[in-house]
């Protein structure tokens, strides 16, 4: 099966051959890979990737997002969309506006710190909340300029994808 994807703002075509249940083969950046996978929960897959020389295990966290999935692997976030499902002529535009408009964790996490207070003015890209997941810290940032109107979390709280941690009212 062949997939035409937009990954962050790069176009990729990936061919996947199903070997057996919970297993497939693919070629990625000229490397032939065999992948076994297991669903851990609604948001998490465990992959065992074999490139013929070494095997590596990795946890992958998935969240539905507009037009595709947001995938979190080893502290890196990927916005993945199936180009075949996007309306013609909108691929570039959708990729460039692929920033989340809510402060929500990409995977189950623990809040390390909240960097803002109610009524603070924030600029797009300012750090808002620091979370920890899989022993890695990630700073969630403001998606636009605005004013913090409510804090919905605190230090030490366990949070899930979809939980709105901080509400920001966008400036006109």
What are the residue ranges spanned by the domains of the chain? 2-96, 109-170
Interatomic CA distance for residues 103 and 106, integer angstroms: 10
Interatomic CA distance for residues 18 and 136, integer angstroms: 32
Note the pLDDT tens digit of each residue in 28-63: 777 889 999 998 887 888 999 998 899 999 888 888
Structural domain 2-96, CATH architecture: 2-Layer Sandwich (3.30)
Note the pLDDT tens digit of each residue in 72-125: 887 677 778 877 665 554 443 333 334 456 788 888 899 999 999 999 999 988
Query: Which CATH number is associated with domain 109-170?
Result: 2.40.50.100
Interatomic CA distance for residues 53 and 84, integer angstroms: 34
Give the tokens for residue 167: 């509400």
Residue 11 has pLDDT above 70, yes or no: yes
Residue 9 has pLDDT above 80, yes or no: no
pTM: 0.49
């Amino acid at each position: 099966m062949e997939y035409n994807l937009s990954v962050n703002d790069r176009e990729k075509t990936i061919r996947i051959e199903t070997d057996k249940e919970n297993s497939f083969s693919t070629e990625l950046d000229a490397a032939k890979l065999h992948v076994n996978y297991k669903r851990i929960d609604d948001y998490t897959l465990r992959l065992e990737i074999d490139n013929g020389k070494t095997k590596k295990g990795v946890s992958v966290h998935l969240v539905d997002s507009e037009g595709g999935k947001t995938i979190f692997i080893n502290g890196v976030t990927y916005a993945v969309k199936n180009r075949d499902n996007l309306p013609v002529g909108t691929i570039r535009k959708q990729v460039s506006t692929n920033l989340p408009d809510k402060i929500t964790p990409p995977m189950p996490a623990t809040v390390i710190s909240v960097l803002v207070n109610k009524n603070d003015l924030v600029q797009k890209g300012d750090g808002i909340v620091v979370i920890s997941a899989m022993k890695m810290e990630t700073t969630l940032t403001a998606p636009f300029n605005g004013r913090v109107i409510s804090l919905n979390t605190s230090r030490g709280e366990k949070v899930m994808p979809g939980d709105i941690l901080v509400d920001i009212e966008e400036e006109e």
